[in-house]
Amino acid sequence: MDQNNLLIIDFEFTMPEGKYSPQNFFPEIIEAGIVKSVDDAVVETFSSYIKPKKFPKLTKRCKSFLKITQKDVDEGMKFEEFIRKLNELDPQKDCTIVTWGNMDMKVLKQNCMFNHIPFPFKGEMRDLSLEYKNFFGDRTLTGLWKAAEEYGDEGTGTHHKALDDALTTHKLFKRVEQDKQYLEKPKPPTIGERIDLSEVLRRAT
């Protein structure tokens, strides 16, 4: 798959009011933010609310946590339209899909099954939160914006706004990839690092 063609994806989901069992609730995508990157350059961004179908009425907890209104999702695009957009963004089915965490693709697969729609991606799936954990040797997974802070960045826009989170993930992806390359291909030492120049100058005087 083409590592230079990336779709960086972030979804927000419906949330139950309290405890729930899989028999009476499952999360549905209600907001999507996507960054399409080719050769490290952003070529397209996409942001939209999406109407939930199985549980169309948002809980108070969901609206409060995500700062999202019932009107937002009621006026959002249908899930079928959203999948068509995903197919348009990855027409050759060769994009590498990058997410922060594994829930985005899990919920997308579940939502596709519920709607009897084929899963839209065939490319490599990369969970950047897991790569970040392994790269830095952390014991636990780090939240997206905490990781951005650790890189000296406050993140882009507002946390839990899907496109802002996708843009933040894209920035982190580029930085982690640069650090990996730096470690894999260390720069050759300069002559100053090979030789103690102060010693050479001392001898010359």
Any idea what the CATH number is for the domain that residue 178 is in? 3.30.420.10
* pLDDT at residue 4 in the model: 84
The reply to whether 31 falls in a domain is yes
**Got the DSSP string for 1-69?**
-EEEEEEEEEEEE---SS---TTT----EEEEEEEEEETTEEEEEEEEEB--SSS-SPPHHHHHHHT--
Angle of helix 103-115 relative to helix 79-89, nearest 10 degrees, comes to: 120
Question: 154: exposed, middle or buried (C-beta count within 10 Å: 0-12, 13-18, 19+)?
Answer: exposed
Domain-embedded: residue 117: yes
Compute the chain's Rg from CA coordinates.
22
Judge whether 202 lies within some domain.
no
In a domain, 178, yes or no: yes
Task: Check 131, 159, 160, 177 and give the catalytic one.
Answer: 160
Range of the domain at 166: 2-188
pLDDT for 203 equals 59
* pLDDT given for residue 193 in this prediction: 54
The active-site residue out of 12, 28, 31, 170 is 12
Q: Is residue 132 part of a domain?
A: yes
Residue 82 CB: number of other CB atoms within 10 A?
23
Tell me, yes or no, if 199 is annotated catalytic. Answer: no
- How distant is the alpha carbon of residue 200 from its chain centre? 52
- 204 inside domain: no
Q: For residue 12, indicate whether it is catalytic.
A: yes
In a domain, 193, yes or no: no
Per-residue confidence in pLDDT tens, the chain, 205 aa: 456 899 999 999 999 988 777 678 999 999 999 999 999 899 999 999 999 999 999 999 999 999 999 999 999 999 999 999 999 999 999 999 999 999 999 999 999 999 999 999 999 999 999 999 999 898 999 999 999 999 888 777 888 899 999 999 999 999 999 888 877 665 565 555 555 555 556 655 5
φ, ψ for residue 185, nearest 5 deg: -125, 75
Q: Count of domains in the chain?
A: 1
Q: Is residue 200 a part of any domain in this protein?
A: no
**How much is the pLDDT for 154?**
75
pLDDT at 1: 46
